[in-house]
Amino acid sequence: MGLSTILLALVCVLGSALLQSTHAQDAPQDYLTAHNIARAAVNVEPLSWDEKLQAYAQDYANQHMGDCNLVHSGGPYGENLAMSTADLSGTDAVNMWVAEKADYNYDSNTCADDKVCGHYTQVVWRNTARVGCAKVRCNSGGTFIGCNYDPPGNYVGEKPYEPYNSYAKILPCARCMDAPIIFTIGNNVE
């Protein structure tokens, strides 16, 4: 009895750990954190999670369980899609989109030749305020992930964010009469 009970407990613990690891980095906060780290790097306001966008993304992802094809929904929101033949976490998908930053030239507002960077520019689009994401396991065993953004980004001819070389914060000074003191508190390395 003792050994079989221990083995059963061990199987339950390992099974639970395995189940939890497959869902790691797929929670709303995981998607948000990955997005907001990229946005903070270019001094853009953080996104908030939107359940309406999540429901939209989930409905669309559910439609692709059978084929796992990366075809955009054509809906009213900005949209990033990712697919993998194996398990892919939501955080990994966002990081994959953010990695396109290496192929984005801010000055010309273009991608490098034969490269894609529109997923990155959607992640950091300055006017986007909300995101909702979803993930499904495809019948083939692959993973389909979609994130939707509101308001959408990637408008032709517009840059995703405004550059900043430095910005200043004006602090009041009781001894300064009418002239405030200006402290520079940040510099962009890009």
Interval 65-118: pLDDT, tens? 999 999 999 999 999 999 999 999 999 999 999 999 999 999 999 999 999 999
Q: How many CB atoms lie within 10 A of CB 49?
A: 16
Does 178 reside within a domain? no
Classify residue 99 by its DSSP letter: G
Please tell me the pTM assigned to this model: 0.75
pLDDT above 90 covers a percentage of the chain that reads 72
Q: What is the mean pLDDT of the chain?
A: 82
Does 117 reside within a domain? yes
pLDDT of residue 165: 54
Can you read off the two tokens belonging to residue 138? 């495809």
pLDDT above 90 (res 170): no
Does 148 reside within a domain? yes
Can you read off the two tokens belonging to residue 181? 């003191």
CATH number at residue 58: 3.40.33.10
Which region among 30-39, 64-73, 111-120, 175-184 has the lowest average model confidence (pLDDT)? 175-184
Domain with 93, as residue range(s), is: 25-164
Does 120 reside within a domain? yes
pLDDT of residue 171: 40
The structural domain count of the chain equals 1
The DSSP string of 159-189 is -SS---SEEEEEE--TTSTT--EEEEEEE--
Does 29 reside within a domain? yes
